[in-house]
């Protein structure tokens, strides 16, 4: 049966979910993986990605439930739909993994990343950097006569855009946390 | 009753509570406290191996032939690293193994201490799960969890690394009933909607085939019975992977033989030509599929597997069913019966007619000889002379392994132990000892090649010490036969490093080990020699000198489709093009 030759009523899923599972298009997905916060758990997850040749675009991890010793790993990965499904299945069968959520498929989600940017410069450049920071709602968290450290939070694309603008104005260093993401709604 | 005890005693107590009868191991500095506890009890038997790799393969042989987990005990550093090959072997073939390794004391970890290795780091990708236990209070619960993980869902090896100070310290013992294991509970029941859809497909299919794998055997005797019932009630032909041999009996009327690279012509043609492929507990391994884009082009595919990551990994599946083979087959049969036991009788009759035509090709034919023992003949005679006996077969890896799969018949599960996924040369001898330890009265034969066998030959010492009367049936062609065959097909007959110039005299070697050596070099003496091997009450090394340049056929050359097999009657042609880069 060709994947697009689907008879009416043959699936209990909504028509909106019928993405072509055999497409060769590379997609970017944000996965939230809830794991036991035990020694080596991050190495296990990263080892799965490197050992099987999957991509990691960004990775964020911290304990989110101190009493239950659960951590939330947010990983942004790329691949064809088949590879993305494999990644989820491979993660799901690991012993310390409790849940795997594909925030890209599950519905709308909020994605945020925090970045610190150090910009050095004098005169016009310095004023322009500060003006752009205001537009992007970046805060100044450290200042000398020759530099600023900006703190900004936003979607990764917004941080990319701000960093691009800062580059000609004296961007020296940038530190990014990677993406944290939650599904919208209850 | 006091539940306070040392970590070392906890290990032994936990093993007893898990019903462990045998441990395969090798002592060393970091496990001495555990060995001291083993010394002071009689319930658990310890088999002293000669190399830690052997210990894991023995545990695999034990596990595969009994369905129970195998247990291994090794020391830190080299003890653990030597075990790694066996652990990966068990991972690839889904064999439940619990490895206990000693570790340097917690306060020395990370200091490059004597015999220190990052065992959990090294074995993280080679195990289903592993643990470093840093507190004695957590040790017994961890061991119980380890047994649960090793045996639940898709089975596999687990490892527990136990620092020496944790073994010496005293803590509270947790009995198995109180250990927390609930969170790891793979789904065993299949989706009824999907199973019903498969039943509908079975009712209509004109050319169905059951493609069965090791998952049927791992699921247990119940699953094996249900498979037989399904095949016999529906009349659907059954083929199997290397790992699944014996689940459906070779004498069964639905049996069409093993499939894959060295599988039977009729089985591979049936896979290629079917209109419904029902994969039961197999994983579309590359030895099975041949060229992916030409794999069974006109069939609908159903896949029953307990591991969700097996679904759509290699071959796209129309009806995936995630669950335990036994549970799914039970529901499948129930639904099929309740709907009136329908099949496409007319289609099936034509299908069987076609299969029998393929069968008439007689793909296992070979040119006999009056002067030299053909390896195929050796196995045919072994089969004939051991037929009907309480027999277990292990193998090494290579041509002899494929010939054994082709020429030996298996009537029941758990009788065939071979390294399928990893292809570990040196697997068969220790595995045969593990099987023999589990079944002391049975006939256990390791079908070997001389090159593979030499890789773990030190374990003959173990066989002699523990009176394991294993029969080492070595097909000796003085070549690395499969490598030689590939060099012939792929590298212009340039036989780079694929023969051994100075092999030992295997008969004298047997005597040196304190067991019996038998040699056969002429077809006329083969039967008597095999009978002498079977009649001898003790371990035997059988040196069967066979044709040196025999090719293992039939064969799907790598990169070819199922319907493009190399048959014994064909001219041997070179592998070229894209297939040449495949393994």
pLDDT digits (tens, 9 = 90+) for B279-292: 999 999 999 998 99
What single DSSP character describes residue B325? H
Backbone angles phi, psi at B397, to 5 degrees: -125, 130
Farthest-apart Cα atoms in chain B, separation:
75
pLDDT of residue A20: 67
The yes-or-no verdict on residue A18 having pLDDT over 80 is: no
pLDDT of residue B332: 98
pTM: 0.94
Q: Which residues pair with A72 in a beta bridge?
A: A34, A62
Give yes or no for B120 touching A (CB within 8 A): yes
Q: Give the tens place of pLDDT for each residue, B316-326.
A: 999 999 999 99
What single DSSP character describes residue A7? P
Dihedral (Cα; B512, B514, B516, B519), 10-degree rounding: -10
The Cα–Cα gap between B428 and B418 comes to 7
The yes-or-no verdict on residue B537 having pLDDT over 80 is: yes
For residue B554, whether the previous peptide bond is cis, meaning omega lies within 30 degrees of 0, is yes
Helices (H), B257-416: 265-273, 286-289, 325-338, 345-359, 375-386, 399-407
Q: Give the tens place of pLDDT for each residue, B428-443.
A: 999 999 999 999 999 9
Region class of B198: left (phi > 0), else alpha (psi between -120 and 50), else beta: alpha
* Residues B82/B75, Cβ–Cβ less than 8 Å: no
Confidence of residue A10 (pLDDT cuts 50, 70, 90): very low
**Percentage of the residues of chain B whose pLDDT score is greater than 90:** 94
What's the mean pLDDT in B346-369?
Answer: 97
What is residue B197's three-state secondary structure? helix
Please provide the average confidence, as pLDDT, over all residues in chain B: 96
**Closest residue in A to B306 (Cα–Cα):** A93
Cβ-based neighbours of B533, under 8 Å, separated by 6 or more: B471, B473, B518, B540, B542
User: Closest Cα to residue B286, out of B321, B249, B256, B261?
Assistant: B261
The Cα–Cα gap between A127 and A129 comes to 5
The Cα–Cα gap between B199 and B343 comes to 10
CB contact under 8 A, B308 and A93: yes
Catalytically annotated residue among B4, B43, B107, B114? B114
The Cα–Cα gap between B194 and B306 comes to 14
Q: Give the tens place of pLDDT for each residue, A114-163.
A: 999 999 999 999 999 999 999 999 999 999 999 999 999 999 999 999 99
Give yes or no for B156 touching A (CB within 8 A): no
**Closest residue in B to A35 (Cα–Cα):** B183
Confidence of residue A3 (pLDDT cuts 50, 70, 90): very low
pLDDT of residue A19: 60
DSSP characters over B472-497: EEEEE-SB-HHHHHHHHHHSTT--TT
Across the A:B interface, residue pairs with CB atoms under 8 Å apart total 45
What's the mean pLDDT in B25-52?
Answer: 98
Confidence of residue A21 (pLDDT cuts 50, 70, 90): low
Q: Which residues pair with A63 in a beta bridge?
A: A71
Buried b (16+ CB within 10 A) or exposed e, A136-159: eebeeeeeeeebbbbebebebebb
pLDDT of residue A11: 46
Give yes or no for A168 touching B (CB within 8 A): no
Nearest CB to A95 within list B125, B129, B309: B129
Q: Which residues pair with B519 in a beta bridge?
A: B543
**Closest residue in B to A98 (Cα–Cα):** B183
pLDDT of residue B572: 67
Give yes or no for B153 touching A (CB within 8 A): yes
Mutate to test the interface with B, among A39, A47, A95, A102 (most CBs of B within 10 A): A95
Cβ-based neighbours of A83, under 8 Å, separated by 6 or more: A54
Q: In the annotation, is B482 catalytic?
A: yes
CB contact under 8 A, B129 and A51: no
User: Closest Cα to residue B332, out of B316, B344, B324?
Assistant: B324
CA torsion through residues B510, B552, B258, B397, sign: positive
The Cα–Cα gap between B157 and B549 comes to 38
pLDDT of residue B581: 78
The Cα–Cα gap between B263 and B417 comes to 17
CB contact under 8 A, B318 and A1: yes
**B184 contacts on A by Cβ (under 8 Å):** 95
**A21 contacts on B by Cβ (under 8 Å):** 312, 316
Q: Give the tens place of pLDDT for each residue, A158-179.
A: 999 999 999 999 999 999 999 9
Which tokens go with B176? Answer: 């198995």
The Cα–Cα gap between B460 and B433 comes to 9
The Cα–Cα gap between B140 and B11 comes to 7
The Cα–Cα gap between B451 and A52 comes to 31
Confidence of residue A2 (pLDDT cuts 50, 70, 90): very low
């Amino acid at each position: 049966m060709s994947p697009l030759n689907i008879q009416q009523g043959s699936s209990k899923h909504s028509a909106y979910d019928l993405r072509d599972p055999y497409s060769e298009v590379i997609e970017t997905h944000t996965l939230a993986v809830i794991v036991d916060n035990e020694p080596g758990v991050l190495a296990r997850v990263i080892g799965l990605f490197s050992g099987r040749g999957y991509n990691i675009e960004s990775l964020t991890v911290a304990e989110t439930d101190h009493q239950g010793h659960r951590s939330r790993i947010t990983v942004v990965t790329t691949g064809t739909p088949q590879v993305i499904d494999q990644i989820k299945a491979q993660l799901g069968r690991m012993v310390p993994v409790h849940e795997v959520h594909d925030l890209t498929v599950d519905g709308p989600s909020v994605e945020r990343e925090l970045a610190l940017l150090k910009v050095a410069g004098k005169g016009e450049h310095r004023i322009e950097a500060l003006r752009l920071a205001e537009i992007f709602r970046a805060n100044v968290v450290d200042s000398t006569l020759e530099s600023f450290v900006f703190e900004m939070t936003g979607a990764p694309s917004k941080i990319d855009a701000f960093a691009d603008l800062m580059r000609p104005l004296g961007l020296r260093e940038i530190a990014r946390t990677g993406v944290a993401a939650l599904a919208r709604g209850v | 009753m006091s539940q306070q005890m040392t970590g070392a005693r906890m290990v032994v107590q936990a093993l007893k509570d898990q019903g462990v009868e045998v441990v395969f191991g090798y002592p060393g500095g970091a496990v001495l406290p555990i060995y001291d506890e083993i010394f002071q009890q009689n319930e658990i038997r310890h088999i002293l191996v000669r190399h830690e790799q052997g210990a894991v393969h023995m545990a695999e042989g034990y596990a595969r032939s009994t369905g129970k987990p195998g247990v291994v005990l090794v020391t830190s550093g080299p003890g653990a690293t030597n075990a790694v090959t066996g652990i990966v072997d068990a991972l690839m073939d889904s064999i439940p193994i619990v490895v206990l390794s000693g570790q340097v004391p917690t306060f020395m970890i990370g200091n490059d201490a004597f015999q220190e290795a990052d065992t959990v780091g090294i074995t993280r990708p080679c195990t289903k799960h592993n643990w470093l236990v840093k507190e004695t209070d957590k040790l017994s619960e961890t061991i119980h969890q380890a047994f649960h993980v090793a045996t639940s869902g898709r089975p596999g090896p687990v490892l527990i690394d136990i620092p020496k100070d944790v073994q010496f310290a005293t803590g509270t013992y947790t009995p198995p009933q109180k250990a927390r294991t609930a969170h790891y509970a793979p789904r065993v029941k299949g989706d009824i909607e999907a199973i019903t859809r498969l039943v509908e497909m079975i009712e209509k299919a004109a050319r169905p085939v059951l493609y069965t794998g090791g998952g049927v055997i791992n699921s247990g005797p119940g699953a094996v019975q249900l498979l037989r019932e399904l095949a016999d009630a529906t009349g659907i032909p059954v083929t199997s992977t290397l790992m699944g041999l014996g689940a459906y009996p070779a004498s069964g009327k639905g049996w069409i033989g093993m499939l894959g690279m060295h599988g039977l012509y009729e089985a591979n043609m049936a896979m290629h030509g079917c209109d419904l492929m029902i994969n039961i507990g197999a994983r579309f391994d590359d030895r099975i599929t041949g060229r992916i884009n030409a794999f069974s082009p006109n069939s609908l595919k159903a896949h029953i597997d307990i591991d969700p990551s097996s679904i759509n990994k290699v071959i796209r599946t129309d009806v995936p069913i995630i669950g335990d083979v036994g549970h799914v087959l039970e529901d499948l049969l129930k639904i099929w019966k309740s709907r009136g036991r329908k099949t496409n009788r007319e289609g099936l009759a034509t299908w069987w007619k076609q299969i029998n035509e393929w069968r008439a090709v007689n793909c296992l034919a070979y040119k006999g000889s009056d002067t030299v023992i053909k390896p195929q003949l050796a196995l045919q005679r072994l089969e004939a002379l051991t037929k009907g006996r309480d027999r277990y077969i292990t193998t090494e890896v290579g041509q002899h392994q494929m010939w054994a799969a082709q020429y030996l018949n298996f009537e029941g599960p758990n009788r065939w132990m071979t390294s399928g996924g990893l292809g570990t040369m040196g697997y068969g001898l220790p595995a045969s000892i593990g099987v023999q330890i589990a079944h002391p009265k049975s006939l256990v034969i390791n079908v070997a090649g001389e090159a593979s066998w030499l890789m773990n030959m030190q374990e003959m010492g173990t066989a002699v010490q523990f009176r394991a009367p294993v029969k080492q049936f070595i097909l000796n062609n003085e070549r690395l036969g499969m490598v030689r065959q590939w060099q012939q097909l792929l590298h212009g007959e340039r036989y780079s490093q694929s023969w051994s110039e100075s092999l030992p005299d295997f008969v004298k070697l047997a005597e040196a080990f304190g067991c019996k050596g038998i040699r056969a070099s002429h077809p006329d003496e083969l039967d008597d020699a095999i009978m002498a091997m079977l009649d001898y009450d003790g371990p035997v090394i059988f040196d069967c000198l066979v044709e040196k340049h025999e090719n293992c056929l039939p064969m799907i050359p790598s990169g070819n489709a199922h319907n493009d097999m190399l048959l014994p009657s064909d001219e041997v042609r070179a592998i070229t093009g894209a297939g040449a880069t495949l393994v």
